[in-house]
Structure 1
Amino acid sequence: MRALIGHSGFVGTNLKRAAAFDALYNSADIADIRGRAFDLVVCAAAPATMWAANADPARDLAGIDALVGHLAGAAIDRLVLVSTIAVLDDAAAGYDETGARYETAKAYGRNRRHLELALSAQVQRCHILRLPALFGHAIKKNFVFDLINPVPSFLKPDRLSDLLGAMPAESAAAARAFFVPDTALGMMRFERDAARAAGHDRILAQGFAAAGFTAPGFTNSESRFQYYALDRLWDDIKRCLAAEIPVLHVASAPLRAADIHLALTGTAFDNPGPPLYAEDMHSRYCAQWGGPAPYLYSAADTLADLTRFYREAVGA
């Protein structure tokens, strides 16, 4: 018997596409796992919204502790925890699985490291896979999402107003119709599904391009990401289990945002204004994956995965 926790989230949705599970859980029914026995449980359930965790650390930690408590009520032979590069105090420090230092200042990473420690102590055969930036089915955010969906998901009201004034009239009218206030964030939120259903997504993309700002503009062109294709995850979990690896950094060779942009769109990307971000997580297990040390996957591997994904997403 094997179970997947977090089946309705981004990672869980992709795992369901790759493998069959006897039981599926999410936050609505995780209490039902108590009293059950499983040969394997894959946990991809820690909330992925970084801003929410950092805004309310106590609430985030309480949710994680509740998850740990529910799992304590089940008999689990082997547990796979899908974790995150954010547990590291510096994503670009080149840490491998044995020499890492951990986040203590930001609640998102600190609380997910707490989850790693709690579940490792609770389940003897626990395997942790730390993931970097991701792409795959049902992607909802990040630079790759922005390349596919150039209309920004959120904008400050003043910024949206400025852009409306620089758009063609038809695009501006559509933007006024499909950007709505998000009072919790103090932002204007793009109702992407509604705009697409109404057939306005293309004219909006053209309007933002004409106004001189699209969603990739939030990213510094020199930022470096270790993008990872989620359709590889189930196979990597199986390798990790077979080799009895306790902690695995799922590390792809870093790629510059500018190089990703050029490879996917065929156009140059020079955008030095936004904050610089970098990932450079290493792994001790690159030889077992056939990757170029210190990575499991080469830049060429990742660019091939990104190109395939992008072309499918945009219908190219």
Structure 2
Amino acid sequence: MNSLIGFSGFVGGTLLKQASFGDLYRSTNISEIEGKSFDLVVCAGAPAQKWIANREPEADRQKIEALITHLKTIQCKTFVLISTVDVFKSPIGVDEDTPVDESGLHAYGLHRRLLETFVESHFPNHLIVRLPGLVGPGLRKNVIFDFLNDNNLQAIDSRGVFQFYPMINLWYDIQTALDAGLKLVHLTAQAVSVADISQKGFGKPFTNTLANAAATYDMQTKHAQLFGGTGRYQYSARETVQAVRAYAQSEPLKAVSGAQA
């Protein structure tokens, strides 16, 4: 039997559209997983709101440690953890061989690294999937959501450089990684500027400069060719822009406010 942890979040909800899972868990029923055995467990259960984790670090740590406590009781043949580029303090030019420096790392990254190291040590047959920014049906946060909804654009720096993984491919890419016997994979896309996301993805020029230095991400992979990609990324900037266009042209406008990435 297969199990999905975090089924109500964006990543978990995406996986539900792409694969079948017998047992579904989230924070409200995770205690029910204790003592069970599975063929496959996919865990997308770590809270994804980076700004909340960094604002309330102790509460975030407690959530991660509680999740680990539940996971210690289960058995499974294969455990897949959905993790994040934010385990890197400086996410530029990093690949699967880059060591994670935990010193001075913000709470969000540090606590998700804690979850990674638990999975590495506890489940012999595991796959850790690190993701950058995301784009796909149902997205409810980050600058792509904000551009769609004209949400808080004055707080966005057009000089920022981000990576957006096309979520429609997630389960298929996980299968490719499992079939290849990988223990760790960066599923990533060539970086694009915020200005280009607005211009090429939404057809709107956007220029806005904030006082602080703009964020820059460049998570790379050693395994691009395995997934049909070239160079250091599974997906090109062109493929990212196409995913943004598909989102922009098909996603309904939301009545809720966007959260910070």
Aligned mates of 1:115, 1:102 — CA distance in 2: 15
1:246 equivalent to 2:179? Answer no
Matched, 1:29 2:29: yes
Contact persistence 2:135–2:243 (CA under 8 A): no
Q: Work out whether 1:85 is the aligned partner of 2:23.
A: no
Could you tell me which runs of 5 or more consecutive residues in structure 2 were left unpaired when the two chains were aligned. 254-261
For the residue of structure 1 that corresponds to 2:94, the secondary structure is coil
Q: Flag the 1:103–1:271 CA change in 2: closer, same or farther, 3 A.
A: farther
Instruction: Verify: 1:99 aligned to 2:37, yes or no.
Output: no
Aligned to 2:111: 111
Contact 2:137 2:251 in 1 (8 A): no
- Superposition TM-score, scaled by structure 2 size: 0.92
Q: Which runs of 4+ in 1 moved over 4 A?
A: none
What residue is the counterpart of 2:64 in the other structure? 64
**Are the counterparts in 2 of residues 258 and 270 from structure 1 also a CA contact under 8 Å?**
yes
Q: What aligned pairs does 1:102-141 form with structure 2 within 5 A after superposition? A: 102-105=101-104, 106-141=106-141
- Change over 3 Å in CA distance of 1:268–1:114 after alignment to 2: same
C-alpha contact 1:97 1:284 (8 A) present in aligned 2? yes
Aligned 1:1-316 pairs, distance under 5 A: 1-91=1-91, 93-105=92-104, 106-150=106-150, 152=151, 215-273=152-210, 275=212, 276-313=214-251
**Equivalent AA in structure 2 for residue 116 of structure 1:** E
1:7-43 C-alpha deviation (Å, 9 max, x unpaired): 0111111111111101000011111111211010000
Inter-CA distance 73–102: structure 2 relative to 1 (3 Å threshold):
same
Count the aligned residue pairs.
251
The structure with the larger Rg is 1
Greater mean alpha carbon deviation, residues 283-292 or residues 110-119:
283-292
Give SS of 1:94's match: strand
Work out which structure has the larger RCO, using CA pairs closer than 8 Å and 6 or more positions apart in sequence. Answer: 2
Contact 2:136 2:243 in 1 (8 A): no
Q: Deviations over 1:111-159 (max 9, x none)?
A: 1001100111110011000000112233221110011111x3xxxxxxx
Deviations 1:245-281 (A, max 9, x none): 1111111000011111111232321112254011100
Structure 1 residues 147, 274: closer, same or farther in 2, change over 3 A?
farther
SS of equivalent residue, structure 2 residue 185: strand
Cα separation, partners in 2 of 1:130 and 1:302, compared to 1, 3 Å:
same
Shift of 1:103: 4.1
Note the aligned Cα RMSD (angstroms): 1.4
Q: Percent identity?
A: 36
Larger CA deviation: 235-244 vs 264-273: 264-273
The answer (yes or no) to whether the contact 1:90–1:103 under 8 Å persists in 2 is no
Normalized per residue, the structure richer in helix is 1
Q: Please tell me whether the aligned partners of residues 164 and 191 of structure 2 are also in contact (alpha carbons under 8 angstroms).
A: yes
Instruction: Single out whichever of 32-41 and 94-103 deviates more from structure 2.
Output: 94-103
SS in 2 for 1:41: strand
Task: String of CA shifts for 1:172-198, please: whole Å, max 9, x gaps.
Answer: xxxxxxxxxxxxxxxxxxxxxxxxxxx
Change in CA separation of 1:69 and 1:314 when aligned onto 2, cut-off 3 Å: closer
Measure, in 2, the Cα distance between the counterparts of 1:46 and 1:8.
Answer: 12
C-alpha displacement of 1:60:
1.4
